[in-house]
Amino acid sequence: MIGLVSVTAAGAAASARLVAAWPDGTRCYDGPTAEAVRRAWGECDQLVCFLATGATVRLVAPMLGDKRSDPAVVCVDEAGRHAVALLGGHRDGTADGCGANQLAEQVAGVLGASPVITTATDVTGVPGLDTLGLPVEGAVAAVSRALLDQEPVQVQVDVAWPLPALPGTAVQSDQSKPDRSKPGQPRPRIVVTDRLLPAGAQTVLLRPPSLVVGVGASRGVSADEVEQLIGAALAHGGLSMASVGALATVHDKADEAGLVTVADRLGVPLSTFPASRLASVAVPNPSAAPLAAVGTPSVAEAAALVAAGADDLLVPKRKSAMATVAVARRAPRGRLTLVGLGPGARDLLTPRAIAELRSASVVIGLDQYVDQIRDLLRPGTHVLASGLGDEEARAQEAVTTARSGRSVALVGSGDAGVYAMASPALEFAGDDIDIDIVGIPGVTANLAASALLGAPLGHDHAVVSLSDLHTPWEAIEARVRAAAVGDFVVTFYNPRSLNRRQQLPLALDILREHRPPTTPVGVVREATRADEQVLLTTLADLDVDVVDMRSVVIVGSTNTRAVAGRMVTPRGYRWMS
């Protein structure tokens, strides 16, 4: 819940806009200001104060406690120009809502204000170690300081896991030069591990969710018993509870309250498998009891192995009165995101695409596209940019790199799935589901051009690429003919290059056989980029020399018309004369 505190009329008006934007997520606090802030502080996870920062600081100062549990606080000035993240900047991704940095961005978005963010790691683009999406322990402040000061930080990867980029001064130990630090002077270190290790004054432990705990239980087992047994098994194996990524059991126990509660407490899923699947796994310690009860000689060990996709257990079966547990480690799953960058303008790049670019440690794409977003990448991001023509090699490299356990973004203009890299990447990834693959849609050239021209795609339309590099011309011609006969609006991609000059005139001739010479045609070059050109003409008047590879051509259907200089394809036929 976001508590809103305003004093002046302007503050109240801005506050009302937040209420209108988030009716279920906000609550207004009225009355004497100090009292209102005190009540909001006690009842809300996030506060937006339409007050000066100084006034807000004085009001909340007596209530400050722990930075992990204090509410996030954002101040908005009287003119509604700035949304200042005042307190709790990084408390992101918790059940209590986002931290003040993100809240400031959201508030600024609604009010048309500028967010003001002062936490060092956000401002410099160096990732806050507590914002990597993994639990972190140890000397977070000291190691963050070292990263900010560009001191060398050793990264030791005990368990490979896809992470966002770390700054260039963070170097994996196996590649780093011999340790020149003076004996007795430990160097700052980041260790990615699920093991229990002594952290020390200069070490941060990042906990990947790499452990799977298989659990068997008798009906009615208590959550406390299960949790204690898990704790004991992990301690026995020298493993950290913070790295438990899933619990696993047999289907029959899917609603066993003790197991469900422990999964909730740990914030992990409870995966279940049919007894027949568990029975098919060879385990070190099979037993007769579960065979009789649920139909498999092993629940804990078999479920841990199956859920982790592992061959060996880290901790074999351990028992308490009513439960059994076993622990396995899952292989790291790399992540490949196929990110559409939109047609060119920065504000047509989606926030989701930006978030993915910033959480990738490797970005792969055509150099002109990578250049479009280079400034958004975290320092230390490994960039593999290449020239035109290497599409397959790029797609292959992206998949191979993700398979090594890294977090890879493969970028393309418009949408990455439209005449772009997503298809070769998915084909190359094949049927092995060994990496997570996520598509992030982008605004295509077709949509950007359509919006600039008016509404040419208001009714059925077809998109045809005129590039005969990978498609025989006969096939392209047949499709154009079908679209012509079907009276589709047609968008031509890759319409014309220095070496391919004949295709567009041929395609237009086919359309001319089925449409009047007055049919509107739109040509959009460099849509939403600096050299954008928009031309509305007709089938009879189109001069193909204005068209190049950075253009799309949209030819209207027999219903498309020009309205006040805009190209419009009517939605239905009932208004037709």
Contacts with ligand SAH by CB under 6 A lie at 343-344, 412-415, 418-420, 444-445, 449, 493-495, 524-529, 549-552
Strands (E) across 113-243 are located at: 114-116, 136-138, 153-157, 170-172, 189-192, 203-206, 211-217
C-beta closer to ligand SAH: residue 243 or 372:
372
Closest among 562, 419, 555, 571 to 489, alpha carbons compared:
555
Q: Match 């209108």 to its residue by tokens.
A: 20
Q: Which helix (H) or strand (E) holds 135?
A: none
CB of 346 to ligand SAH, least distance (A): 13
Q: Is 196 helix (H, G, I), strand (E, B) or coil?
A: coil
Q: H or E element: which one contains 195?
A: none
Residues in CB range of 280: below 8 A, 6 or more apart: none
Closest to ligand SAH by CB, 418 or 483: 418
CB of 529 to ligand SAH, least distance (A): 5
Q: Which are the contacts of 316, defined by CB distance < 8 A and separation ≥ 6?
A: 284, 285, 301, 326
Backbone phi, then psi, for 2, in 5-degree steps? -100, 120
Bridge partners (DSSP) listed for residue 286: none
Q: Which tokens hold the place of 562?
A: 């020009």
Please say which residue, 13 or 506, places its beta carbon nearer to ligand SAH: 506
Confirm if 311 and 332 have CB atoms less than 8 A apart.
no
Rounded to the nearest whole angstrom, what is the least distance from the CB of residue 276 to ligand SAH in the complex? 45
What's the CA gap between 523 and 493, in Å, rounded? Answer: 11
Separation between Cα atoms, residue 167 and residue 219, nearest integer Å: 50
CA–CA gap between residue 262 and residue 271 (Å, rounded): 13
How many Å apart are CA 524 and CA 532, to the nearest integer? 7
Closer by beta carbon to ligand SAH, 188 or else 365: 365
CB of 489 to ligand SAH, least distance (A): 16
Q: Please give the torsion angle defined by the CA atoms of residues 195, 201, 202 and 207, in that order, rounded to the nearest 10 degrees.
A: 30
| DSSP strands (E only) in 287-350 | 315-319, 323-329, 334-340
Among residues 180 and 470, whose Cβ is nearest to ligand SAH?
A: 470
Nearer to ligand SAH, 327 or 418 (CB): 418
Closest CA to 248 of 234, 232, 259, 238: 259
Q: Which is nearer to ligand SAH, 22 or 428 (CB)?
A: 428
Closest CB to ligand SAH among residues 259, 448 = 448
- Give the sign of the dihedral formed by CA 26, CA 27, CA 29, CA 35: negative
Q: How far is the CB of 548 from ligand SAH (least distance, A)?
A: 8
Q: How far is the CB of 437 from ligand SAH (least distance, A)?
A: 17
Residue of minimal Cβ distance to ligand SAH: 414
Cβ at position 568, least distance to ligand SAH in Å: 20
Task: Report the nearest approach of ligand SAH to the CB of residue 392 (Å).
Answer: 15
Question: 3-state SS string over 267-294?
Answer: CCCEEEECHHHHHCCCCCCCCHHHHHHH
In the bound state with ligand SAH, the residue whose beta carbon lies nearer, of 293 and 451, is 451
∠ CA 112-117-120 to the nearest 5 degrees?
Answer: 160
The least CB distance from residue 559 to ligand SAH, in Å, is: 24
When the beta carbons of 277 and 550 are compared against ligand SAH, the nearer one is 550
The distance of closest approach from Cβ of residue 477 to ligand SAH in the complex, given in angstroms and rounded to an integer, is 18
Judged by beta carbon, residue 243 or residue 413, the one nearer ligand SAH is 413
Nearest to 554 by CA among 504, 507, 506, 491: 491
CB of 495 to ligand SAH, least distance (A): 6
Q: Which is nearer to ligand SAH, 218 or 423 (CB)?
A: 423
153-157 and 170-172: which strand pairing? Answer: parallel
- Least spacing, CB of residue 338 vs ligand SAH, in Å: 11
